[in-house]
């Protein structure tokens, strides 16, 4: 079973920042948080991941709470192409394990 909880859906306006929350209250010290997104009729796409510190890349930023029981994916300036289902995944497995997906958040972007 998925170890994270996310809102079913969120709506935002184009060119505005989006904050997607995720709760992972059972996280242990060595568990990573991964974010993937899935556009319609496509396979998931990597967005970002982190362990303890906040992370930034060209796609997004990941803010991890100090107690690590929650995190927020930040899209700094949403575009229509960012409309997708965003999955937050708590990963306690090794390199040979797959990822367990929850239901994710369906992000709707309004023009």
Partner 1 sequence: GAVVSQHPSRVICKSGTSVKIECRSLDFQATTMFWYRQFPKQSLMLMATSNEGSKATYEQGVEKDKFLINHASLTLSTLTVTSAHPEDSSFYICSVPGQKGNEKLFFGSGTQLSVL
Query: Interface with partner 1 by CB under 8 A: which residues?
Result: 2, 32, 34, 36, 38, 41-46, 48-49, 57, 87, 91, 95-96, 98-104
* Cα–Cα–Cα angle for 37, 109, 2, rounded to 5 degrees: 30
Buried b (16+ CB within 10 A) or exposed e, 22-33: bbbeebeeebeb
When the beta carbons of 30 and 42 are compared against partner 1, the nearer one is: 42
Residue 78: CB minimum distance to partner 1, A: 22
Residue 80: CB minimum distance to partner 1, A: 20
When the beta carbons of 2 and 74 are compared against partner 1, the nearer one is: 2
- Pair 1, 103: CB distance under 8 Å: no
User: Could you give the CA distance from residue 89 to residue 87 in angstroms, rounded to a whole number?
Assistant: 6
Residue 87: CB minimum distance to partner 1, A: 7
């Amino acid at each position: 079973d998925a170890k994270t909880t996310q809102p079913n859906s969120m709506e935002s306006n184009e060119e505005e920042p989006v904050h997607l929350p995720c709760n992972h209250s059972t996280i242990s010290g060595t568990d990573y948080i991964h974010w993937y997104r899935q556009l319609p009729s496509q396979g998931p796409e990597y967005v970002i991941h982190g362990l303890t510190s906040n992370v930034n890349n060209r796609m997004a930023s990941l803010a991890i709470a100090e107690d690590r029981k929650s995190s927020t994916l930040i899209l700094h300036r949403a575009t229509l192409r960012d409309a997708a289902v965003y999955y937050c995944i708590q990963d306690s497995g090794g390199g040979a394990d797959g990822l367990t997906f929850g239901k994710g958040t369906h992000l709707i972007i309004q023009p």
